Amino acid sequence: MGSGILFSYPQLATITGVQGVIVYALSSALPLLVFATVGPIIRRKCPQGFVLTEWTRQRYGIVAAIYLSFMTLATLFLYMIAELSAVGQVITALTGMDGLPVIIVEVVVTTIYTSLGGFQISFKTDIVQGTMVTLLIVIATITIGAKSDIQKDLIDSSGLLDASLLGWQLIYILPVAILTNNFFLASYWLRTFASKTDKDLRIGVSIATAVVLCVLVLVGMTGCIATWTGAFPGDPPQEDGSVAFFLLIGQLPAWVVGIVLVMVVSLSTAAFDSWQSAMVSTASNDLFRNRLNIWYIRVAVVLVIIPVVILALKAPSILQIFLISDLISAATIPALMLGLHRAFYFWHGLEVVAGGFGGILTVFLFGLVYYDGDADAAAGLLILENGLYGNDWSAFGAFVAAPVGSLLWGFGVLGVRLGIQWLLAKKSGKAFTSLDRPVEVDEAEPVITGSEQSIDDKAAGKFF
C-alpha cells in the first residue's frame, strides 16, 4: 500500500459512504488471497521462475512473455507515478511546502538501499515500515476518535449510511479491477516465489489480507468522518473528495499532522522500493534473460524514474492512473490465466495477445454504442476520462467489456488459427495435430536440472 490510499479511499467514502468503504476495502484485501491459491500452482509448474512472466514464457512462448513484460513494466511505471504524485500532494496538503524535495529525497534513498541490498533489503525495510505504520495508524485512529466533533444532524443529511447505485456497481467493478491488476504487480510475484513453503505463503497472505482490510476501512472511514464533522463541505462539494482526509487532519493538533507525515513517508517508501526492485527484476529477467550486468539495469531504471518524477508533478488524478492500469489488466489477465488449467492445453500465446488487445478494442466499441457513435467520448472511455464516480453506467460497462471482450476475441482467434491449421494439414496430407493433448510433465520434478543448465534450455510454449 502506498500513500495514494489517503486520497482514493476517503474520496470514495464521500460519494458512496459506508457501503463504498466496505466494498473498496474488501475488494482490495480479498484478491490478495489469490496468491495463496494460484501461487503454489505456478511455482510447481515453473520451479525456476520468480515472476509471472517466467511462467508465461514457459507456457506461451517468448512473444506472449514479452507482451506481458511490457504490460507489467507499464503498470509499474504508472504505479510509481501515482505514488510519487501522492506523497508530493500529501506534503503540500499538510505542510504547505513544495513536495518536490521530499520526492527527490525518497527516490535517492530508495535507489541507494535497493541497489546495495536488492529485493531482500525491501523485505527487511517492509518489516520496519510495517511496524511503524501499524503503530502510527493506531495512534491516529485513537486521536481522530477522541478529537473529532461529529455533528449528528450531518450524519442523516449526508446520506452516507444509505446504499447507492455506484455502491452496487462497485461490487463488480472493484474486484475485477483490483484482482486482475494484482497479477501485473511483479512485487507480489517476487514475494510469492520467495516464500519458503506453500504453508508460509498462505500464512503470509492471510495476515496481509487481514491487516490490509483493517487499515483500508480505517482510512476510508475518514472520508465519512470528515463529512460528518463538517470538515468536508458535503453535497455539492466545494472541494474534491480526495482531500477529505487532509481536511479532517487539518482540524486536529499539530502533533497528529506530524504522525501522519511519518506514516505517509513510511507507506510511500515501502511501496516505492518494492516497485523499483520489481522493475529491475522484470527488465533483467524478461528482456535480457539475466545476461546483462545488473548495474546497467539499475542505471536504466534510475533514468526511467526521471520522467516518473516529471509526470508525478503533473498527474491530475491518482485514481485515474490506477483505473487506466486496471482496465488494461482486466483486458489481459482473463485470456492469460486460461492456460493455467490443463483443460485448455490448446490455448496458445496468439490467443492471449489477441485477447488482450481485443479486450481494449471491445471497450472502445462499447463506448461507441454507449455514446451514440461519439468516437471522442469512446476514446475517452479507454482512459476513463470521466472517472469511476460518474452517475452512469460507462465505467461499469467498460469493466464488463474488457474481460468479456478479451475472452471472446481470444476464442475467435483460436477458431481462426485452428481452421487455418486444419486447412493446411488437409492440403499437405498431414495429420491435424493442433488439438492433440501434449505429453504431461510431472510438475513435482524440476524441469531444469544441473547448475550449469540455462533456463532457456527449457522447451518454450507455443505462440501459434
* Burial category of 201 from C-beta neighbours within 10 Å (exposed 0-12, middle 13-18, buried 19 and up): buried
pLDDT at 390: 65
Which residues are within 8 A (CB) of 215 and not within 5 positions of it... i.e. 6 or more apart?
Answer: 1, 5, 133, 137
**What residues does each domain of the chain span?**
5-457
As a whole number, mean pLDDT of residues 28-39 equals: 94
pLDDT of residue 460: 63
Q: Please tell me the least confidently modeled range out of 60-74, 127-141, 345-359.
A: 127-141
pLDDT tens-place string over residues 284-343? 888 888 888 888 999 999 999 999 999 888 876 777 788 888 999 999 999 999 998 889
- What is the fold of 5-457? Sodium/glucose cotransporter (1.20.1730)
* pLDDT score at 242: 79
For residue 243, name the pLDDT band (cuts at 50, 70, 90).
confident
Confidence of residue 389 (pLDDT cuts 50, 70, 90): low
pLDDT average, residue stretch 28-57:
90
Inform me whether the pLDDT recorded for 2 exceeds 80.
no
d(CA 245, CA 296): 41
pLDDT at 263 over 70: yes
Cα distance between residue 443 and residue 335, in whole Å: 22
Which pLDDT band, with edges at 50, 70 and 90, does 97 fall under? confident
Q: How far apart are CA 259 and CA 133, in angstroms?
A: 10
The per-residue pLDDT for range 124-158, each reduced to its tens digit, is: 887 877 787 788 788 888 888 888 888 988 898 88
149-205 pLDDT per residue, tens: 889 888 988 889 998 888 899 999 999 999 999 998 877 888 898 899 999 999 999
Binned at pLDDT 50, 70 and 90, residue 442 comes out as very low
In this prediction, residues 417-446 reach a mean pLDDT of 80
Per-residue confidence (pLDDT) for residue 128, from 0 to 100: 78
pLDDT category at 67 given cuts 50, 70, 90 is: very high
Distance CA 244, CA 190 (A): 34
Share of the chain above pLDDT 70, in %: 93
Top pLDDT among 49 and 39 is at 39
Look at the block and give the residue holding cell 476520462.
385
What integer pLDDT is reported at residue 48 of this predicted model? Answer: 79
Mean residue pLDDT across the chain: 86
Task: Using the structure block, give the residue that is written with the C-alpha cell 514475494.
Answer: 191
- Tell me the chain's radius of gyration from C-alpha atoms: 23
Residue found by looking up cell 493538533 in the block: 253
